[in-house]
């Protein structure tokens, strides 16, 4: 039962909630489902979230500032190490941590009873446990299971590894488990007033969200590996009032000359498709017409050079020390 104030009203709660886990477990998809809008870049490819972003989830009795973090993985390059540090800082800055872990595809109850989390999932749990914050375990993609009873041994195995404050199975795309998750989140947050205006959805400006829409179009139109070598910078963002219209100029940075040719495509077909899709998504987000002009530029080895990464905007973005 929710705590009440002396006047009998439900006590309002507010705080920071970090969404953490391995790459591609559904963090951005869950954030979008909770906010009821396509705010975060969510694709079927792992490691598409590169920076922490705040999604502001406001309900009648709480406000959870969701920190969408990159996936925790074994990092080798300077850029991958940057992403893992972003995830760790997100957990440290939060009041509560949500560890997202996808349920496995299992044929029967015998397989479920023998199942154990993989090495990378255990490493993510250890990283977050070392932070020392309360952890809610969110088991994602439960629609994979043919029988709900298969969940019981999976939950039991996770609970044997850590004392979670709660365990909530969900399927964000179908809305399953989200009501229960709202109840758990409300109970987990500290009492307090809203931290942001209740009409806000994110701490990021439209320049940043426009760049994310261009990146999403890159993933849809290029081969699986190439988008990871691409960065997007917004060179200008001009808002015209009468008639309402946005004019955006952006640069797609690649690491090798051969990549530049692929992004442009034969006769410019690929870059036109990328621009058209990104322009449509930006217009849907802003509810205003949009003109988008893209340039492809060679920025050699930017994922390996920390100075170049900073020039492209990949630096400490939301508080905390590097």
Give the pLDDT confidence score for residue 1 in this predicted structure. 43
Give the pLDDT confidence score for residue 3 in this predicted structure. 53
Give the pLDDT confidence score for residue 280 in this predicted structure. 93
What is the mean pLDDT of each successive set of 10 residues along the chain, which is 322 residues long?
50 93 85 82 49 82 88 65 75 92 91 91 90 95 89 96 97 94 96 89 83 88 79 92 91 93 94 95 90 95 85 57 32
Give the pLDDT confidence score for residue 269 in this predicted structure. 95
Domains and CATH numbers, the chain: 13-188 (3.40.50.300), 206-311 (3.30.300.20)
Rounded-to-integer distance, Cα 101 and Cα 21, Å: 6
Which tokens hold the place of 85? 């540090």
Give the pLDDT confidence score for residue 52 in this predicted structure. 62
Rounded-to-integer distance, Cα 209 and Cα 205, Å: 7
Give the pLDDT confidence score for residue 212 in this predicted structure. 86
Residue-wise DSSP of 20-74: EESTTSSHHHHHHHHHTS--S---SSTT---S-EEEEEE-SSEEEEEEE-PPP--
Q: E strands within 103-143?
A: 135-140
- 107: DSSP letter: S
Which tokens hold the place of 48? 């598409």
* Contact residues for 61 (Cβ-Cβ < 8 A; gap 6+): 2, 10, 11, 12, 13, 186
- 272: DSSP letter: H
């Amino acid at each position: 039962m929710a705590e009440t104030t002396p006047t009998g009203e439900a006590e309002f709660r507010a705080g920071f909630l970090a969404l953490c886990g391995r790459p591609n477990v559904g963090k951005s998809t869950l954030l979008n489902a909770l906010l009821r809008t396509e705010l975060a870049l969510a694709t079927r490819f792992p490691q598409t979230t590169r920076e922490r972003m705040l999604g502001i989830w406001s309900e009648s009795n709480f406000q959870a500032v969701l920190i969408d973090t990159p996936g925790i993985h074994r990092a080798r390059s300077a850029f991958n190490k940057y992403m893992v540090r972003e995830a760790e800082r997100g957990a440290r800055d939060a009041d509560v941590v949500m560890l997202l872990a996808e349920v496995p595809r299992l044929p029967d109850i015998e397989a479920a009873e023998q199942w154990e989390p993989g090495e990378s999932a255990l490493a993510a749990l250890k990283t977050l446990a070392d932070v020392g914050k309360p952890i809610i375990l969110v088991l994602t993609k439960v629609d994979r299971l043919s029988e709900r009873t298969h969940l019981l041994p999976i939950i039991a195995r996770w609970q044997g590894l850590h004392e979670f404050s709660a365990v909530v199975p969900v399927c964000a795309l179908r809305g399953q488990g989200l009501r229960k998750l709202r109840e758990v989140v409300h109970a987990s947050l500290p009492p307090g007033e809203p931290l942001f205006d209740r009409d806000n959805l994110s701490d990021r400006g439209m320049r940043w969200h426009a760049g994310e829409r261009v990146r999403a179009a890159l993933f849809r139109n290029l081969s699986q590996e190439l988008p990871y070598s691409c960065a997007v910078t917004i060179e200008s963002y001009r808002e015209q009032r009468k008639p309402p219209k946005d004019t955006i100029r952006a640069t797609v940075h690649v690491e090798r000359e051969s990549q530049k040719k692929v992004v442009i495509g034969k006769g410019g077909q690929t870059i036109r498709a990328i621009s058209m899709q990104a322009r449509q998504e930006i217009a849907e987000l802003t509810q205003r017409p949009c003109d988008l002009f893209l340039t492809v530029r060679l920025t050699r080895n930017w994922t390996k050079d920390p100075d170049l990464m900073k020039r492209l905007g990949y630096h400490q973005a939301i508080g905390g020390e590097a």
